[in-house]
Structure 1
Amino acid sequence: MTTSHSLTAEGLALGYADRVVIDSLDLVVPPGRITVIVGANACGKSTLLRSLSRLLTPRAGRVVLDGKEVHRTPARQLARTLGLLPQSPVAPEGITVLDLVGRGRHPHQGMFSRWTERDDRAVAAALTATQTADLADRAVDELSGGQRQRVWIAMALAQQTDLLLLDEPTTFLDACHQVEVLDLLTDLNHTRGTTIVMVLHDLNLAARYADHLIALASGRLHSCGTPADVLTEECVRTVFGLDSRIIDDPVSGRPLMLPIGRHNVLARTAPAVSGGA
């Protein structure tokens, strides 16, 4: 269970070369819950996730896991507690699905330890959960985009970490598989207490599945809290530059965002038709 783990960002500043992406960010990830990060393109969502997972060193501030700075924690040690599925992972050429998913077990194996029955069970469970067991002997580079995405998620699940960070895990997936993956992550959270932090583009899926919602705007924290607290018409207008209406989702009871565009008029008068002679 992950209620004993704490992950925070303190005064975080992140960037690339001369460009500042995140500035003066303070953040607390609720343990044992599902946190979803939302925001417009290039607002810093993926950059934040990379720093939380130790892949990007802060220019200022720090990321702290259980009282220790993640950037000063040995990689293998960190990988036993915190797993990451990046936005565009690249598989070694020719590697099979089974071998790739098996790599999720590497953090649990020391210099002299061997593959065990526990590793077999973890890989098999991950393949079954993501409906990729029938692809086990296929080369990853032969798969469709949606199949590859599910295989990468299987690798992350096989790692069996208490904290799991996922950058757009529903990329390339059709509507059915998007819901299946998010349901799977919810089950993982409910049954194992795994702390989930993920970036999603779909605001309505984010509101439906998140316990805790984080909205970023121009590299700063706009708001955080429950979906009902964060997903407001003002937030959507400020963060995304979009006018909207927020109603209650008839299925989940969570907030549901209805965008209003120039051609998406709520009530439209039919054009007059001129009569004949």
Structure 2
Amino acid sequence: MTASHTLSTENLTLGYGDRAVIEGLDLTLAAGRITVIVGANACGKSTLLRSMSRLLTPRTGRVVLDGREIHRTPAKELARTMGLLPQAPVTPEGITVLDLVGRGRHPHQRAFSRWTAKDDEAVAVALEATRTTELVDRSVDELSGGQRQRVWIAMALAQQTDLLLLDEPTTFLDISHQIEVLDLLTDLNRTRGTTIVMVLHDLNLAARYADRLVALASGALHAAGTPEEVMTEDTVQAVYGMESRVIEDPLSGKPLVLPIGRHHSKADGIGAGHRAEPPVNARKAADR
């Protein structure tokens, strides 16, 4: 079990140029839990993660880790406690999978220190957990999007931090690998007590895997709490501008969001594989 760490924001305002993205955000993340951040595109999810990992300096307010402002914490010291998998990590040209995953051990290396058996073990465990062991000699440039994403996750795991921030870790992955990665992060949380904070777009996976949900809307906190408290029809409407029905997931017992569109509902009266008749006026025009 890892030590608990408290991570919070205080009156946090973030932005780019003249545009504010997050304004006056107060948020405390649950230590030793899985927190998933959800919200519509451009609501500030990725920006918030960047600031929490010290990549983006606040305009006002601060991010605090264990009572200490992270933007005043040395980068290498912070990296031994907190790991980040960004949304679009840049791969060094020509680097192999083994070398990239090994870079996750850099925060643990002292000046002039040698690679140790502990480093080997951490890399091997990360490769095995992400099922990328067979890729170790391949260039990362040659991999598919899904393979590349799993390798980056392996690097984050090799870092062996108590806090792990992931921005859309299931991007590029098919559904089976999405579940595999989320199960892996759950195992990490349950066996080591690692605090997991991640951004997900899939509301149903977010509700199933989260201990806590944070819903952002227009740069502000709309709701925070358990999936049952946050994932309601009112929240989906307010955050996404979308009507839905929220029922109980028969497998997990968590909320399951059913979007309501203009088609393919029982009320629509049109089943899959059937074409709707054109409006009467359109048929008359076609007959002329």
TM-score range, shorter chain: over 0.9
8 Å contact kept, 1:2–1:163:
no
Aligned to 2:88: 88
1:248-263 correspondence runs (5 A): 248-263=248-263
Residue 224 of structure 2 corresponds to residue 239 of structure 1: no
1:24-51 deviation line (CA, Å, top 9, x unaligned): 0000000000000000000000000000
Aligned to 2:107: 107
Aligned to 2:203: 203
How many residue pairs match? The answer is 272
Residue 194 of structure 2 corresponds to residue 189 of structure 1: no
What secondary structure is seen at the aligned counterpart in 2 of 1:267? Answer: helix
- How far did residue 239 of structure 1 move? 0.3
Residue 166 of structure 2 corresponds to residue 166 of structure 1: yes
- Segments of 5+ residues of structure 2 without an aligned counterpart are 271-275, 278-288
Residue 78 of structure 2 corresponds to residue 78 of structure 1: yes
- How far did residue 269 of structure 1 move? 3.8
- How far did residue 3 of structure 1 move? 5.0
- How far did residue 265 of structure 1 move? 2.3
How far, CA to CA, are the matches of 1:10 and 1:214 in structure 2? 16
Q: Which amino acid in structure 1 is aligned with residue 213 of structure 2?
A: L
1:1-277 correspondence runs (5 A): 1-2=1-2, 4-269=4-269
TM-score w.r.t. structure 2 length? 0.93
1:90-127 deviation line (CA, Å, top 9, x unaligned): 11100000000000000000112110000000000000
How far, CA to CA, are the matches of 1:110 and 1:57 in structure 2? 27
How far, CA to CA, are the matches of 1:100 and 1:2 in structure 2? 25
- How far did residue 4 of structure 1 move? 2.6
- How far did residue 68 of structure 1 move? 0.4
8 Å contact kept, 2:242–2:260:
yes
TM-score w.r.t. structure 1 length? 0.96
1:164-223 deviation line (CA, Å, top 9, x unaligned): 000000000000000000000000000000000000000000000000000000000000
How far, CA to CA, are the matches of 1:267 and 1:163 in structure 2? 46
- How far did residue 266 of structure 1 move? 3.3
How far, CA to CA, are the matches of 2:269 and 2:128 in structure 1? 52
How far, CA to CA, are the matches of 1:147 and 1:72 in structure 2? 35
- How far did residue 77 of structure 1 move? 0.1
Q: Rg: which structure is higher? A: 2
- How far did residue 225 of structure 1 move? 0.1
1:139-166 deviation line (CA, Å, top 9, x unaligned): 0000000000000000000000000000
The alignment-based identity, stated in percent, is 75
8 Å contact kept, 2:262–2:268:
no
How far, CA to CA, are the matches of 1:219 and 1:19 in structure 2? 11
Q: Which amino acid in structure 2 is aligned with residue 173 of structure 1?
A: L
1:51-92 deviation line (CA, Å, top 9, x unaligned): 000000000000000110000000000000000000000111
How far, CA to CA, are the matches of 1:188 and 1:261 in structure 2? 37
Seen in structure 2, the aligned counterparts of structure 1 residues 245 and 102 have a Cα distance that, compared at 3 Å, is same
How far, CA to CA, are the matches of 2:23 and 2:264 in structure 1? 36
Greater displacement, 195-204 / 1-10: 1-10
How far, CA to CA, are the matches of 1:168 and 1:88 in structure 2? 9
Output the aligned Cα RMSD. Answer: 1.1
- Segments of 5+ residues of structure 1 without an aligned counterpart are 273-277
8 Å contact kept, 1:149–1:171:
yes
8 Å contact kept, 2:64–2:70:
yes
- How far did residue 268 of structure 1 move? 3.8
8 Å contact kept, 2:3–2:162:
no
How far, CA to CA, are the matches of 1:214 and 1:266 in structure 2? 32
How far, CA to CA, are the matches of 1:40 and 1:255 in structure 2? 18
